[in-house]
Amino acid sequence: MTPSIQIGDTLATAAARAGEKAAAVLLGMQSQEGYWWAELTADTTLESDWILLQLWLHPPVNGIWNPLSRPLIDKAVHSILSRQLPDGGFNIYPKGPSEVSASVKAYFALKLAGIPVSGERMTRLRERILALGGIQSSNSYVRLNLSLFNLYPREGAPSVPPEIMLLGRVIYEMSSWTRSIVIPLSVTHALNPGRPVPAGFNLEELFIPGKPATFQLAESLLSLRNIFLAVDKGLKIWEKVGVRRVRQRAIRRAEKWMLERTKLTDGLGAIFPPMMYIIMALDLLGYAPEHPERAEAQRQFDRLMVERGDDFYFQPCFSVVWDTAIAAFAMGESGYAPDSAMLRAGDWLLSKEVRRKGDWSVKRPNLEPSGWYFEFANEFYPDIDDTAMVLLGMYHTRATDPEKFDACVKRALNWLVGMQSKDGGWAAFDVDNDWEVLSKVPFADHNAMLDPTCPDITGRVLEALALYGFDSGHPAVSRGVDYLKRTQETDGSWYGRWGVDYIYGTFLALRGLRACGESDREAFILRAGEWLRSVQNPDGGWGESCASYDNNTFTGAPSTASQTAWAILGLLAGGDTTSESLRNGIEYLTATQKSDGTWDEDLATGTGFPRVFYLTYHLYRQSFPLLALASYLKSENGEDRG
C-alpha cells in the first residue's frame, strides 16, 4: 500500500522517510498469526521473588540446593547483581534511586543463594537498606513473604484473612489485580505454619535496633488507619482462637474461586504475583506437584521466565493483545501496511474477543460480554483500556469476515459504554471501584487497592467511541468529556495512571477531546498545549521520570522516543501544527532513529502500580513514534491531525 501523504518541506520529507523505516521494522516484527508481541520487563523484585518460591518448593538440604534449581538460581543471582546501584541498593525503575523494599528482597534472595554477606556488594547493600530505614520500612508484601518463613515477625505483617470470601461482594470492591493476589495469599497466610529455612539463616542484620517491627499508629486516634490496625490485631487473635469451621469454609470458598479463574487463562489473573501465590496455596491445600491443577499453575508461571544464554529474568505478564492493538493502529494511521498484514492482525484480534462473563459482571450482570484482555488468554479479566485500543486498531485492520467483524465491534462498543463509572470516567477493569476506605487497610501499601477512573483511559475510550460514530450528543460521550474537564490539573496537564505520567495522561485526554469535537480554541485545550511545550527538553524531545508519581507533579527526565511521540500527538490533537516545539519534536524523532529504523529507550514509561512497580514496554519505542510521525504528516497534508 502506498501512503497518501503528500510530501511538502524538508522536515516532512525526513519524517516520511523515518516513518517508512519504522513501519518496515514493525511489519517485520509481526507474527505469521497476525499479532505483535515484544517483551515486557520490570525490576529485580521478580527474580528475587522467584528465588523465594524456590525456597518454598525446593529448599536446600544441608545448605545445598537441588541440582535442578542451582543453575537457574545462579542465573537469577547474576541478573539481580547486574542491576545493583553504585550505592549498593536496588531501584524500581531505570535510573531511579534505591528503594527499600526492592533492596530487602534482593538481599534476601542473594543471601539465600549463597552470596557471602561479608562481601563488598552485600555490605554496601546492607548499609543502604539500613540507611533507608531498615527492613522495618519495607512494604506489606515484603513483610508477608518473609513472615511465611518466620524471617519477619508475624505480628508485624498484616493479616490477610480468607474470611473475606464470606463478606459478600467485598472482594469485588478491591481492584481486580488486588483481588487475584489477595485471595491465594489469604489461603497461604492462613495455612502456612512457617516454612523452614536453612539452619542459621536469618535477616537480623537488616533490622534497626529499637525500631518497631509492627505498623505504627497514626497521630489521630480515630483515623481509619488506626481503626484498621485495631481490626488487624483482632484478626490475629481470631487466627489463634477463631472457629475452625468458619475458617475452613472460607478457605474452601477461596479454593473454588481460584480454580474457577484458572480456566481459559494464562494462569490466575495472568500476572506474576497471583500466579506465584496460587502455586503456594495449592501446595498447602494438598495438591501434589503432579496434580493437573498445580502442574498447570506451575507451567503457566514458568512461561513468564526468559532464559536466553546468560540472560535470565521474568516478565510480569504477556502484553500481546496490547502490543498488537497499538502496532495495528500505528500501522493503519501510517498507511504503509499491506492489506494482508492488517487483515491477519484483525482476524487474530477478533479471535481474542471475550464472550464470557468475568468479575466485571458482578456490577454489570445484564451487560453482554465483550472486550479484550491484555495477554494471550485471560477470559475473566477483559479491560477497558485494551478494549478501546483494540477498537482503534481494528478500525484499520477490519477482518476477512465483515459480518463477524461488525457484530464484534457493536458488542465491544456496547460493553465500553456499559462500563462507564458514575463519575463519567472509565477505569481499567471494573465500574465504580472506588471504596476509598479500602486504601487504608494495612496491606494496601502497594498503592493499587482500588481501580478508580482515570483521564488516560477515559481519553482513549472517547477516541474509540468517536471513531465509530458516537458524537458529543451521546450521554456517555458528554459525561466523559465533562469528566476530563473536571480532572485537568491546574497547570493544564492530566494525570496518567497507566503510563508515565502527565505527558501520557495529557496526550490521551487531548486526543479524546479532539475526537469528540472539542474546539482547540477553548482555554483548557490551549492551556494543555502550553503545558506540553513548557516541559520540552532542550534536545527537542520529551522525557518524564517515574518520580512524578512520588512528587505529585511533573518531574523531567532525559528524552525518550515514546514520551516524545506522546507529546507530539498531544500537541497535534490540541491544534498545534506549526510551533517550533512541534518541529523540534519531529526533528528529535528523525535524528534519534537508528539506521535500522528503530529507536533506543532506556527508561520505563509504563506504569503498573504508581510509586511501587513500573514497566518497560519494548514495543512502545517503535509503535508510538510511528504513530506520531504519521499524525504529523497527516496534519501537513491537511488531514485530521487528531
Residues labelled as active-site residues: 385
Here the cell at position 274 is 497471583
Chain centroid, CA 364 distance in Å: 24
Shortest CA distance to 141 belongs to which of 175, 171, 185, 179?
A: 185
Please choose, from the candidates 408, 364, 358, 398, the residue with its C-alpha nearest in 3D space to the C-alpha of residue 378. 358
Question: Which are the contacts of 421, defined by CB distance < 8 A and separation ≥ 6?
Answer: 427, 431, 432, 433, 434, 453
Q: Please tell me the distance from the alpha carbon of residue 388 to that of residue 412, in angstroms, as a whole number.
A: 9
8-state DSSP, 158: P
Note the Cα 53 to chain centre separation in Å. Answer: 22
Query: What backbone torsions phi and psi does residue 132 show, to the nearest 5 degrees?
Result: -90, 5
Question: Is residue 126 helix, strand or coil?
Answer: helix
* C-alpha to C-alpha distance for 305 and 4, rounded to whole angstroms: 43
- Other beta carbons less than 10 A from residue 270's beta carbon: 26
Angle at 136 between CA 76 and CA 105, to 5 degrees: 5
- Rounded Cα gap, residues 58 and 500, in angstroms: 38
Measured between alpha carbons, how far is residue 514 from residues 219, 492, 522 in Å? 47, 16, 11
Q: Whats the size of the chain, residue-wise?
A: 642
Residues 6+ apart with CB under 8 A from 169: 362
- Cα dihedral: 375, 380, 384, 385 (round 10): -20
Residues 390 and 327: their CA atoms lie apart, in Å, by: 10
The distance from CA 100 to its chain's CA centroid, rounded to whole angstroms, is 21
DSSP string, 194-228: -----TT---GGGSPTTS-SSPPPPSSTTSHHHHH
Helices (H) and strands (E) in the chain, counts: 23, 7
Output the CA–CA distances (angstroms, integers) from residue 346 to 171, 336, 337, in the order listed. 35, 16, 13
Residues 6+ apart with CB under 8 A from 80: 44, 47, 48, 90, 106, 109, 110
Q: How far apart are CA 389 and CA 7, in angstroms?
A: 29
Residues in contact with 224: Cβ distance below 8 Å, sequence separation at least 6, in sequence order: 437, 440
> Quick one: CA torsion of 538, 543, 548, 553, rounded to 10 degrees?
50
| Strand-strand pairing, 305-308 and 556-560 | unpaired
